């Protein structure tokens, strides 16, 4: 999962991070007045018991700031109202960034309990800001004078976003509807939390302990060793497999035991479906509350409410993209399915191909066609080498340098911190990396931040602290962590988000870095994936962890040739999630039906393998039910059109072309949300994007 650009709780507050408040004797002082180098979070001084009182104190102080702005006797101006609001809430936002990062990366029962207790209070505080009539009156006065204020582009965008944020959070509603909005937003904030916690707990609850050698047939040695260590770490004898990515994915790909593949597949696809962590009712409640909220604002459905502030603009444009891609890729996907079925029969499979057979047979077919597999590639992708390669790519493109820091406190011993500088030594920011799965960590991979970028009123630049969280394979029996090619691609993807945050160059935190339209935010990440199979990139770091031998041209050629293997199937799988998301959020009446039946109907046109009864994606679909991608999952495909089109310029000019990279940095990475995304993109590319580059990259058209 490539997700979590900014936590939804932080987005409840229209706040930024501009200047530290005067030192006060507050619980939150440990968060605000850092003693760590470069103002990093003082994790060594923060106790779990600090969070709740610190957030409550910070909420109280933020309320005083808001009251001061709202009750200012002076005439409303851009500075004393809009900028003052932007600069309020420093302490609260600082705490929230730490807390919600840890809630995803290093969670425990105590943090979960705090989150459930504070969520209604945060929601109430947010509502008290957006529904403050005096404050909104001042904002409206300034907004109505926007044509006479001589604002530059950035100031004008801040004014527009501030006004629209208040409108979209109920400022123009009647008093009766404002109370309804308060209730809906409170309930939704708590349900979002409960949904994510149920997915994590149900994921952690499953274990598959194997004790017989015949149960391991087909699995590579490194996967077996990792399972053995996992069992030993839990005081068990045998080989332990679970639903984390480095355990689940290789098992389905390599295990010759079809019965065990089926068992694991069904466990994965019934997460949060039954028992103590059942999300069925949460899905219904979230969908119906979102519909109520949208209709409160006069919209026909939740997608209409969301998409009015997206590049896509409306549901019709989203469906047009999804259906255009479905039409283009479905014939290829059908041919791919038939090819894998034929191979399975040739291999002796006397049964219909089921979803738990797909990875197993398709991987073997890929190996037969291209003579390439993960076991051959992984020795060249030791994690330390990959880090050098990925960081080195940023050096080649943007002149960035990465220096590991040992004196900055971290929240877990596996976390590393890097100081990032320009080629001339100018400080850019901090980068935290957290690579391996743990019981308290959500699945997937994501970028977020402990501190965004902004500029002080004196023009000085307050630089960002960015975090990358992954779930990559661990080192086993003295060997370094060896990544699959997919994990290399995931690293590049999330690193693209990190560059978007690190290279931010705006005055206002709410407009900097990844604070852009959700269907634009994946462009900086997805474009980085294009370098994964480029020879010049791989040559720079991919060396065998034992022999030191550089990856061969022959192996790179095979990787490149296999890039589009089953590309149609992969596209339809991604489209299925987009169709499902849109189906849930274009509901125009409350949903009271069967979730699994609804799901099957929503994505049936994308399903080419048999649908298995009793399986359900919706109840574990964190992106749309707790991760901020509601009515926005299509954004991955939307951005894929952009990234293919954008990378085609690098291909034309040279994949390390400094001039093209400089333009991408100046027009995309540094600008954040200062201007409309299409304006920024066309300034970089010289024209609007087309779908042709994506179709050519995937060999859908020649």
Rounded CA-CA distance 341/353 in Å is 6
pLDDT in tens, 479-515: 999 999 999 999 999 999 999 999 999 999 999 999 9
Q: Nearest 10 degrees: CA dihedral of 130, 132, 134, 137?
A: 30
Rg from Cα positions in the chain = 25
At residue 673, the pLDDT reads: 97
Residue 379 C-alpha from the chain's centroid: 28
pLDDT in tens, 108-148: 999 999 999 999 999 999 999 999 999 999 999 999 999 99
Rounded CA-CA distance 313/303 in Å is 10
At residue 102, the pLDDT reads: 97
122 is annotated as an active-site residue:
no
In the predicted structure, residue 240 carries a pLDDT above the cut 70: yes
Quote the tokens at residue 417: 């911190």
Confidence of residue 26 (pLDDT cuts 50, 70, 90): confident
In the predicted structure, residue 9 carries a pLDDT above the cut 60: no
Rounded CA-CA distance 592/247 in Å is 36
Rounded CA-CA distance 96/93 in Å is 5
At residue 10, the pLDDT reads: 40
Rounded CA-CA distance 101/56 in Å is 18
Name 431's bridge partners.
418, 466
Confidence of residue 247 (pLDDT cuts 50, 70, 90): very high
Confidence of residue 447 (pLDDT cuts 50, 70, 90): very high
In the predicted structure, residue 465 carries a pLDDT above the cut 90: yes
**Dihedral angle sign, alpha carbons of residues 468, 472, 477, 479:** negative
Q: What is the mean pLDDT of residues 475-480?
A: 88
Domains of the chain, start order: 2-200 (1.10.1370.40), 206-270 (no CATH), 378-561+636-697 (1.10.1370.40)
Confidence of residue 14 (pLDDT cuts 50, 70, 90): very low
**Integer angstrom CA distances of residue 91 from 33, 87, 114, 132:** 9, 11, 18, 21
In the predicted structure, residue 682 carries a pLDDT above the cut 50: yes
Confidence of residue 18 (pLDDT cuts 50, 70, 90): very low
Confidence of residue 578 (pLDDT cuts 50, 70, 90): very high
Q: What is the mean pLDDT of residues 650-673?
A: 98
Which range is least confidently modeled, 20-29, 169-178, 456-465?
20-29
Contact by Cβ (8 Å): 585, 647: no
Rounded CA-CA distance 627/514 in Å is 15
pLDDT in tens, 279-315: 999 999 999 999 999 999 999 999 999 999 999 999 9
In the predicted structure, residue 20 carries a pLDDT above the cut 70: no
Give which of 526, 500, 527, 529 is closest to 673, Cα–Cα. 500
Q: What is the mean pLDDT of residues 545-573?
A: 97
Across the chain, what does the average pLDDT equal? 94
Q: What is the mean pLDDT of residues 323-350?
A: 97
Catalytic pick among 487, 494, 529, 534: 494
Give which of 369, 381, 378 is closest to 566, Cα–Cα. 369
Confidence of residue 431 (pLDDT cuts 50, 70, 90): very high
At residue 702, the pLDDT reads: 78
Question: What is the per-residue DSSP string for 560-623?
Answer: HHTTTTTHHHHHHHHHHHHHHHHHHHT--S---S-HHHHHHHHTGGG--SPPPTT--SGGG-HH
3-state secondary structure (DSSP) of residue 352 = coil
3-state secondary structure (DSSP) of residue 114 = helix
CA angle 338, 341, 342 (to 5 degrees): 85
Residues 6+ apart with CB under 8 A from 432: 410, 415, 416, 417, 450, 465, 466, 467, 468
In the predicted structure, residue 4 carries a pLDDT above the cut 60: no
At residue 542, the pLDDT reads: 98
Q: What is the mean pLDDT of residues 420-445?
A: 96
Give me the phi and psi of 82, to 5 degrees please. Answer: -70, -50
At residue 531, the pLDDT reads: 98
Contact by Cβ (8 Å): 43, 122: no
Q: What is the mean pLDDT of residues 453-463?
A: 94
Confidence of residue 25 (pLDDT cuts 50, 70, 90): low
Element (H, E) at 134: helix 133-144
Confidence of residue 21 (pLDDT cuts 50, 70, 90): very low
At residue 16, the pLDDT reads: 40
pLDDT in tens, 82-115: 999 999 999 999 999 999 999 999 999 999 999 9
**Integer angstrom CA distances of residue 660 from 18, 417, 654:** 32, 29, 8
At residue 513, the pLDDT reads: 98
Give which of 343, 351, 288, 673 is closest to 519, Cα–Cα. 673
């Amino acid at each position: 999962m490539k997700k979590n650009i900014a936590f939804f709780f932080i987005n409840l507050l229209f706040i930024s991070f501009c200047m530290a408040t005067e030192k006060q004797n507050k619980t939150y002082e440990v968060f605000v007045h850092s003693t760590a180098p470069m103002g990093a979070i003082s994790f060594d001084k923060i106790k779990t018991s600090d969070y709740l009182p610190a957030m409550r104190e910070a909420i109280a102080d933020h309320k005083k700031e808001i009251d001061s702005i709202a009750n200012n006797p002076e005439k409303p101006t851009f500075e004393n109202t809009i900028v003052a609001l932007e600069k309020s809430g420093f302490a609260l936002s600082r705490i929230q960034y730490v807390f919600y990062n840890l809630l995803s990366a290093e969670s425990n029962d105590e943090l979960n309990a705090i989150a459930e207790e504070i969520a209604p209070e945060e929601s109430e505080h947010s509502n008290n800001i957006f529904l403050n009539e005096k404050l909104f009156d001042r904002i409206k006065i300034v907004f109505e004078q926007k044509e006479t204020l001589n604002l530059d582009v950035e100031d004008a965008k801040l004014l527009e976003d501030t006004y629209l944020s208040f409108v979209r959070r109920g400022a123009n509603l009647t008093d009766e509807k404002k109370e309804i909005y308060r209730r809906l937003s409170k309930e939704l904030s708590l349900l979002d939390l409960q949904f994510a916690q149920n997915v994590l707990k149900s994921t952690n609850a499953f274990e598959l302990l194997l004790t017989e050698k015949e149960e391991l047939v087909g699995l590579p040695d490194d996967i077996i060793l990792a399972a053995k260590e996992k069992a030993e770490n839990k005081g068990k004898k045998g080989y332990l497999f679970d639903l984390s990515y480095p355990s689940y994915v290789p098992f389905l790909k390599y295990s010759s035991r079809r019965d065990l593949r089926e068992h694991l597949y069904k466990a994965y696809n019934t997460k949060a479906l039954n028992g103590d962590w059942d999300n069925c009712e949460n899905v219904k409640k979230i969908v119906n509350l979102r519909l109520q909220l949208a209709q409160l604002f006069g919209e026909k459905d939740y997608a209409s409410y969301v998409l009015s502030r997206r590049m896509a603009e409306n549901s019709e444009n989203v469906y047009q993209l999804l259906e255009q891609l479905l039409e283009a890729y479905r014939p290829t996907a059908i041919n791919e399915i038939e090819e894998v079925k034929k191979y399975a029969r040739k291999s002796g499979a006397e049964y219909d191909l089921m979803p738990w057979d797909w990875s197993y047979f398709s991987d073997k077919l890929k190996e037969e066609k291209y003579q390439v597999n993960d076991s051959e590639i992984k020795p060249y992708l030791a994690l330390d080498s990959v880090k050098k390669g990925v960081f080195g790519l940023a050096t080649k493109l943007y002149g960035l340098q990465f220096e590991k820091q040992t004196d900055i406190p971290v929240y877990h011993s596996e976390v590393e911190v890097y100081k990032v500088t320009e080629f001339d030594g100018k400080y850019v920011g901090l980068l935290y990396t957290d690579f391996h799965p743990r019981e308290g960590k959500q699945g997937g991979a994501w970028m977020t931040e402990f501190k965004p970028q902004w500029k002080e009123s004196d023009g000085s630049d307050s630089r960002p602290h960015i975090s990358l969280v992954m779930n990559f394979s661990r080192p086993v029996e003295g060997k370094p962590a060896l990544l699959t090619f997919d994990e290399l691609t995931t690293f590049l993807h999330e690193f693209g988000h990190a560059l978007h945050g690190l290279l931010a160059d705006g005055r206002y935190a709410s407009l900097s870095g990844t604070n852009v339209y959700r269907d634009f935010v994946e462009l900086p990440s997805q474009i980085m994936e294009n370098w994964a199979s480029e020879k010049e990139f791989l040559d720079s770091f991919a060396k065998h962890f034992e022999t030191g031998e550089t990856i061969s041209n022959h192996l790179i050629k095979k990787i490149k040739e296999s890039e589009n293997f089953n590309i149609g199937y992969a596209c339809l799988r991604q489209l299925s999630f987009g169709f499902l998301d849109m189906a849930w959020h274009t509901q125009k009446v409350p949903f009271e039906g069967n979730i699994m039946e609804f799901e099957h109907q929503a994505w049936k046109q994308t399903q080419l393998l048999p649908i298995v009864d009793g399986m359900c994606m919706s109840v574990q679909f964190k992106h749309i039910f707790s991760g901020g991608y509601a009515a926005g999952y299509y954004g991955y495909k939307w951005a894929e059109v952009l990234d293919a089109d954008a990378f085609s310029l690098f291909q034309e000019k040279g994949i390390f072309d400094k001039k093209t990279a400089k333009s991408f940095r100046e027009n995309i990475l540094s600008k954040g949300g200062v201007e409309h995304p299409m304006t920024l993109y066309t300034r970089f590319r010289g024209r609007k994007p087309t779908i042709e580059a994506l179709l050519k990259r995937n060999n859908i058209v020649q």
